[in-house]
Amino acid sequence: MDIKAEFLRIMAEQTEIALATSVNNVPNVRIVNFYFEPAENILYFSSFKGNDKVKEINENPNVAFTTIPHGGNEHVKAKGIVQKSSKTIFDLAEQFIAKIQGYKDTIEYAGESLILFEIRFDTAVVTKDLHSIKTLKL
**Burial group, residue 127, by CB count within 10 angstroms (0-12, 13-18, 19+):** buried
Q: What pLDDT does 78 receive?
A: 98
CA of residue 61 relative to chain centroid, distance: 14
Q: Quick one: pLDDT at residue 23?
A: 92
Q: What is the mean pLDDT of the chain?
A: 95
Give me the CATH code for the 3-129 domain, please. Answer: 2.30.110.10
The pLDDT of residue 41: 95
- What is the DSSP code string of 113-129? GEEEEEEE-SEEEEEEE
| pLDDT tens per residue, range 110-129 | 999 999 999 999 999 999 98
pLDDT digits (tens, 9 = 90+) for 10-33: 999 999 999 999 999 999 999 999
pLDDT in tens, 57-102: 999 999 999 999 988 899 999 999 999 999 999 999 999 999 998 9
User: According to the model, what pLDDT value does residue 1 have?
Assistant: 77
What kind and span of H or E run contains 135?
A: strand 132-137
Which of these, 76, 65, 66, 69, lies nearest to 126 by C-alpha position? Answer: 76
CA nearest to 65, candidates 118, 116, 8, 137: 118
Torsion on CA atoms 43, 46, 52, 56, rounded to nearest 10: 30
- pLDDT of res. 130: 84
DSSP per residue, 18-58: EEEEEETTEEEEEEEE-EEETTTTEEEEEEETTSHHHHHHH
List the chain domain ranges.
Answer: 3-129
Quote the pLDDT of residue 120: 97
pTM: 0.94
